Amino acid sequence: MSSSLLQARASPSLSFSSSISAANTQWRFTSSPAVTFTRRTRNYTVRAKIREIFMPALSSTMTEGKIVSWIKSEGDVLSKGESVVVVESDKADMDVETFYDGILAAIVVPEGESAPVGAPIGLLAETEAEIEEAKAKAASAGSSAPSTPAASAPSPPPPPPAPVAAPSTPAAAPVAADGSRKIVSTPFAKKLAKQHKVDINKVIGTGPFGRITPADVEAAAGIKPAKSSAAPATATAPSAPAPAAPAKSSPTFAEIPGATIVPFTTMQAAVSKNMIESLSVPTFRVGYPIITDALDALYEKVKPKGVTMTALLAKAAAMALVQHPVVNASCKDGKSFTYNNSINIAVAVAINGGLITPVLQDADKLDLYLLSQKWKELVEKARSKQLQPHEYNSGTFTLSNLGMFGVDRFDAILPPGQGAIMAVGASKPTAVADKDGYFSVKNQMLVNVTADHRIVYGADLAAFLKTFAKIVQEPDILTM
β-strands 420-424, 397-401 pairing = parallel
Q: What is the CA radius of gyration of the chain?
A: 32
Cα angle 11-17-18, degrees, rounded to a multiple of 5? 165
Q: Give the span between the Cα atoms of 241 and 465, in whole angstroms.
A: 54
Alpha helices in 126-213 (DSSP H): 131-144, 147-152, 168-179, 187-195
CA distance 469 to 316: 9
| DSSP string covering 92-112 | -EEEEE-SS-EEEEEESS-TT
Check the CA dihedral 70-72-75-78 and report its sign: negative
Using alpha carbons, select from 310, 329, 349 the residue that is nearest to residue 397: 329
Are 378 and 314 in contact by the 8 Å Cβ rule? The answer is no
Pick from 472, 449, 446: nearest CA to 461: 449
Q: Of the listed 196, 324, 390, 453, which one is catalytic?
A: 453
The single-letter code of the amino acid at 29 is F
HSE on the CB side for 428, CA within 13 Å? 13
Q: What's the burial of 479, exposed, middle or buried (CB within 10 Å: 0-12/13-18/19+)?
A: middle
| Residue spans of alpha helices (H) in 237-367 | 241-249, 266-278, 293-302, 309-323
196 is catalytic: no
Q: Is 252 exposed, middle or buried (0-12, 13-18, 19+ CB in 10 A)?
A: exposed
Where in the sequence numbering do the catalytic residues fall? 453
